Amino acid sequence: MAPFLSLLIYTYLVLRCSSLTAPVDPSKSQPMGSSLGQNSSSEGVPLVDVPMALGVFSVDYHHVQAPFEIVLWIMLASLAKLGFHWSGRIPAVVPESCLLIMVGLLVGGVIYGVRHSAPPTLSADAFFLFLLPPIVLDAGYFLPGRLFFENLGTILWYALLGTLWNVLGIGLSLYGVCLLCPSSLGDVSLLHCLLFGSLIAAVDPVAVLSVFQEMHVNEQLHILVFGESLLNDAVTVVLYQLFESFLRLPSVSGLDVLLGGCRVLVVGFGGLFVGLFFGLVAALTSRFTPRVPVIAPLFVFLYSYLSYLTSEMLHLSGITAIVTCAVTMKQYVEANVSERSNSSIQYFLKMWSSVSETLIFIFLGVSTIQDVHMWSWLFVCATLLLCLIWRGSGVLLLTAVVNKVRRNKVTFRDQFIIAYGGLRGAICFSLVFLIDDFPKKRLFITTTIIVILFTVFVQGMTIKPLVDLLDVKRKKRALPTVSEEIHSRLIDHLLAGIEDVVGYWGQHYWKDKFEQFNRKFLRRFLIREEQQNRSSILRVYQELERREQGADRETVHPLLPEEMDSIRRILSRNLLQFNSRRPTYSRHTLHHDRALQRHSSLGERDTQFVFLCAVCAIGPRSISQDSSIPEEQTAPQHGPKKHLSFDIENEKNN
Amino acid sequence: MGSRASTLLREEEIEEIKKETGFSHSQITRLYSRFTSLDKGENGTLSREDFQRIPELAINPLGDRIINAFFPEGEDQVNFRGFMRTLAHFRPIEDNEKNKNAAPSEPLNSRTNKLLFAFRLYDLDRDDKISRDELLQVLRMMVGVNISDEQLGSIADRTIQEADTNGDNSISFNEFMKVLEKVDVEQKMSIRFLH
């Protein structure tokens, strides 16, 4: 708590300074030397007190204001996150998002108290351009591809039709509510209601991710809710833009509605193609990076962000683009790029998305403290109720239809969680700010905030006990085994064959066809020659070997004295060589120095496994979904673990 | 139509197949038309060549073994009953069937029978054990030619090591089932047969 409190105090002081320091004209604060001549300019400028002595100490806040404040916010977010993960019990009951919003409320209140004006709100541009992409990229990169594509039909069904159902339902019924009370809500037109419906109906991927991550429900359920929240962006974007442009048009005709429908397709597929394009280009670029492995991760981020920006520029669905880009390039980049770069990519993705998510929730809390809130009991309660009703009925209806076609039915319990887990978040919030001004805009903003707070707090907090209560099927936690991989592969081939016999173009058929296309063209083009033919079975096997070698470090193998001597001899020889041809220090050779430090600090200690580390090959532990920090790698993996190879060549390979 | 009259499906046959495999009437007729389209010789049975004429099956790494699975021990022809009996393994398990405890014998599409089918793809000599060699053969077929024998051998060793509980260096059916207990076999090994 101490660092957190000190940060609050520091922030307070900084804010007081910023409000006190008047913007200083740089020309007038120059030291004495130059002021002697210029100050007597006869422009009628009132003379300021010229400093008579050289200023030794000054505070120039405005010089650094923008980056300083950004860093302070990020620092606040990270410290808040540290803070309540430290207390063990709270995160189990209250989801992180709720706590972060509360912190935001606190900070917003503090700022309001100091400045007596509204605190900075989350600007829609900052949100859409900077805060949202990392989260969606992280989600797309770690998307369980197989599960996603198997359930793609259902996900699209929920995302497209479900969102449409929600939007129209909420919009129309809200209009009905407004008609009921013409005195206070009379100037809210149908189009306004529909516009509001379009932004409030969409399930938010950020909120869903943060709540579901802690729940560990079965994977199918997770992917259904999560996939829906990602893909409904296309519908939301179109409907929002549609209704906004309708508001600006003098009249709306049937043709416009039809065009709107076409627009959904354009936006969705456009985003898809933009993402595909950038994903393939990124994969191709990664093929040429082995000489400069340090910047390989950068390409992943740059291309993904470019795809997002491009589709935003063309008013296509940015989320679809960035998810497609990540899914497309993942397998090729992973094959092309070194282990260390892979770890870097995963690590940075997790870090950025975590920071982004934290910032979003804190800003949600801060932005709640507004100067003007317009409140209407009827409107707010009606919105809340209608959101729940329409979501529930939508899920029920759609599932009833889609269960007839699915192999694996969606049970009632799962349906309930899907309906209840439809959380709203920051996307609604930003969209509502972007509406053109009209008399009831404040009402919409207030209602949106209330809905978001309700879904995040009430639904977010109660969903975990409900999952336990309803005994929803949980995720089976299991380490992957080579057997499972092999047998799964066998079953895949078997099923593909049976589908061929039956003449049924089912999932396995298309999957097989894609795999053949992938192998024949894509992999050959996009992956480096050496890496091309590594089958997935081999990869799983190598991955497991690496993990076990890492785990073996815990068990100390007693070495014979002769082996110890030979190890020591090799190491000391290496040390001499390193010392004599020590390269000039640079960022790129940092890892050499670190390895060196480890050697030289050892001496005669009984750290046998550290010697083993230095000499044998170890690979990184792969990043688990809980964003654990990867182990530093010292050398590429090399052969089965049974032999300890004391080759000096291993060292040189660093 | 004279020579084909004997190959048309009779109602009693459909009923029998329905009872044995659990397929519905329409599914059986649809699969029968597929059977006849494959049956180029028009003699009411399928031979191995008929299967090999299916183009995608020819490039399937396990194609030969799958085809073999259709033919009962030592025979070279499979009739429609046998065809349906094999396909019945891949019928999805329905909810109401899961609760049926009064079934006289286990339905063909139960989890155990599905796994047995997969097991038999490995176990060619039907000794109820997957030996290291049998495993190596299947691995080689699935993984391709770009992996050295040594690596393949160590993968096979590891697979056996993960599954083997009684130390006989081969995988019995029970061990096989245990390894796959976390895998959702009921869903993976099912095809949606259109109604």
Which is more confidently placed, A265 or A275? A275
Please check the confidence at residue A132 and state whether its pLDDT lies above 60. Answer: yes
Cβ–Cβ below 8 Å for B183 and A533? no
The set of residues, in sequence order, having a beta carbon less than 8 Å from that of A24 and lying 6+ positions away, is: A60, A62
Strand-pairing partners, residue B172, are: B129
Of B61, B95, B155, the CB nearest to A493: B61
Contacts (Cβ under 8 Å, ≥6 apart) of A201? A163, A166, A167, A170, A236, A387, A390
**Which domains are seen in chain A, by residue range?**
124-470 (1.20.1530.20), 488-544 (no CATH)
Distance CA A498, CA A500 (A): 5
DSSP code per residue over A305-322? HHHHHHHHHTTS-HHHHH
Q: Which residue of B87, B155, B192 is in closest CB contact with A407?
A: B192
Q: What is the 3-state secondary structure (H, E, C) of A234-296?
A: HHHHHHHHHHHHHHHCCCCCHHHHHHHHHHHHHHHHHHHHHHHHHHHHHHHHHHCCCCCHHHH
Q: What is the pLDDT of residue A562?
A: 64
Confidence band for A29, pLDDT divided at 50, 70 and 90: very low
User: Which residue of chain B is at minimal alpha-carbon distance from A539?
Assistant: B155
- For A161-185, write each residue's pLDDT tens digit: 899 899 989 989 988 888 887 777 7
Q: Assess A541–B contact: CB distance below 8 Å, yes or no.
A: yes
- The alpha carbon of residue A14 and the mean position of all alpha carbons in its chain are separated, in whole angstroms, by 31
Nearest to B57 among A484, A488, A501 (CB): A501
Q: Report the range of poorest mean pLDDT among A32-36, A354-358, A385-389.
A: A32-36
CB atoms near residue A229 (< 10 Å): 28
Contact A538 B147 (CB under 8 A): yes
When comparing pLDDT for A182 and A75, which is higher?
Answer: A75
Lowest mean pLDDT among A92-106, A355-369, A530-544, B82-96: A530-544
| N- to C-terminal Cα separation, chain A | 42
Q: What are phi and psi of B130, to 5 degrees?
A: -95, 110
Among residues A217, A229, A219, the alpha carbon closest in space to that of A466 is found at A217
Using alpha carbons only, give the angle B93, B96, B97 rounded to the nearest 5 degrees.
50
| Residue (of A460, A405, A429, A379) closest to A123 by Cα position | A429
Highest mean pLDDT among A13-17, A89-93, A295-299, A575-579: A295-299
* C-alpha to C-alpha distances, A93 to A282, A419, A457, nearest whole angstrom: 41, 21, 11
pLDDT digits (tens, 9 = 90+) for A139-149: 888 888 878 88
- The DSSP call for residue B130 is E
Q: Are A641 and A555 in contact (CB under 8 A)?
A: no
Contact assignment for A498 to B182 by CB distance below 8 Å: no
The residue-averaged pLDDT of A569-584 equals 64
Token duo for residue A280: 């393939």
B191–A502 CB contact, under 8 Å? yes
Tens-digit pLDDT profile for residues A281-294? 998 888 888 888 88
Q: Judge: B159–A512 Cβ closer than 8 Å, yes or no.
A: no
Question: At B139, is the secondary structure helix, strand, or coil?
Answer: helix
Residue A275 pLDDT greater than 90, yes or no? yes
Residue A572, pLDDT > 60, answer yes
How far lies B98's CA from each of A402, B7, B180, in Å? 21, 35, 19
| pLDDT tens per residue, range A585-642 | 555 544 544 444 444 444 444 344 444 444 443 333 333 333 333 333 333 344 444 4
CA A460/CA A462 separation, integer angstroms:
6
Exposed / middle / buried, residue B128 (Cβ in 10 Å: 0-12, 13-18, 19+): middle
Determine which helix (DSSP H) or strand (DSSP E) holds A611, and give its type and residue range: helix A608-615
Residue scoring higher pLDDT (A352 or A594): A352
**Residues in CB range of A545: below 8 A, 6 or more apart:** A637, A640, A641
Contact A496 B194 (CB under 8 A): no
- Is A479 within 8 Å of chain B by CB? no
Q: For residue B129, give the 3-state DSSP assignment.
A: strand
Mean pLDDT across A413-426: 87
pLDDT averaged over chain A? 75
Cα within 13 Å of Cα(B99), Cβ side: 2
pLDDT tens profile A85-102? 787 777 677 888 888 888
pLDDT at residue A278 is higher than 90: yes
Say how far apart CA A473 and CA A217 lie, in whole Å: 6
Minimal-distance CA residue of chain A relative to B193: A504
Cα–Cα–Cα angle for A82, A85, A89, nearest 5°? 155
Helices marked H in A454-589 — which ranges? 460-470, 482-502, 507-517, 523-526, 536-552, 561-580
Closest partner CB to B57 (pick from A481, A491, A497): A497
Per DSSP, the residues of A86-153 read HSSSHHHHS-HHHHHHHHHHHHHHHHHHHHSSPPPP--HHHIIIIIHHHHHHHHHHT--HHHHHHTHH
Contact B151 A538 (CB under 8 A): yes
Contacts of A498 in chain B (CB under 8 A): 66, 87, 90, 191
Please list, in sequence order, all residues whose beta carbon lies within 8 angstroms of the beta carbon of residue A131, skipping any fewer than 6 positions away: A122, A356, A359, A360, A426
Of A314-328, A359-373, A493-507, A599-613, the least confident: A599-613
What string of pLDDT tens digits covers the 195 residues of chain B? 444 434 567 888 888 888 888 888 888 888 888 888 888 877 888 888 888 888 888 888 888 888 888 888 878 888 888 888 888 888 887 755 554 444 456 777 788 888 888 888 888 888 888 888 888 888 888 877 777 888 888 888 888 888 888 888 888 888 888 888 877 788 788 887 765
Residue B117 CB neighbour total at 10 angstroms: 20
Q: By CB neighbour count within 10 A (0-12 exposed, 13-18 middle, 19+ buried), where does A205 fall?
A: buried
Which structure tokens are listed for A446?
């207030």
Answer positive or negative: Cα dihedral of A93, A99, A105, A109.
Answer: positive
For B155, residues 6+ apart whose C-beta sits below 8 A from its C-beta are: A482, A486, A537, A538, A541, B139
3-state secondary structure of A359: helix
DSSP code for A625:
T
Angle between helices A339-368 and A318-336 (to 10 degrees): 160
What chain B residue is nearest to A541 in terms of C-alpha separation? B155
Taking each helix axis as running N to C, give the angle between helix A412-420 and helix A460-470, from 0 to 180 degrees, rounded to the nearest 10: 170
Query: What single-letter amino acid sits at A635?
Result: A
**CA–CA dist A396, A391 (Å, integer):** 9
Can you give the three-state secondary structure of A52-95, one letter per residue?
Answer: CCCCCCCCCHHHCHHHHHHHHHHHHHHHHHHHHHHCCCHHHHCC
Most confident range (mean pLDDT) of A449-463, A483-497, A602-616 is A449-463
- Domains of chain B listed by start with CATH number: 12-96 (1.10.238.10), 110-195 (1.10.238.10)
Q: Which of B158, B177, B187 to mutate to test the interface with A (most CBs of A within 10 A)?
A: B158
Residue of B nearest to A475 (CA): B182
pTM: 0.71
A94's tokens: 């209250």
Is residue A31 over pLDDT 50? no
pLDDT attached to residue A34: 37
Nearest by CB to B162, which of A483, A489, A490? Answer: A483
pLDDT above 50: residue A254: yes
Percent of residues, chain A, with pLDDT higher than 70: 72
Residue with tokens 């039956």: A502
Chain B residue with Cα closest to A484: B180
Q: Is A501 on the interface with B (CB under 8 A)?
A: yes
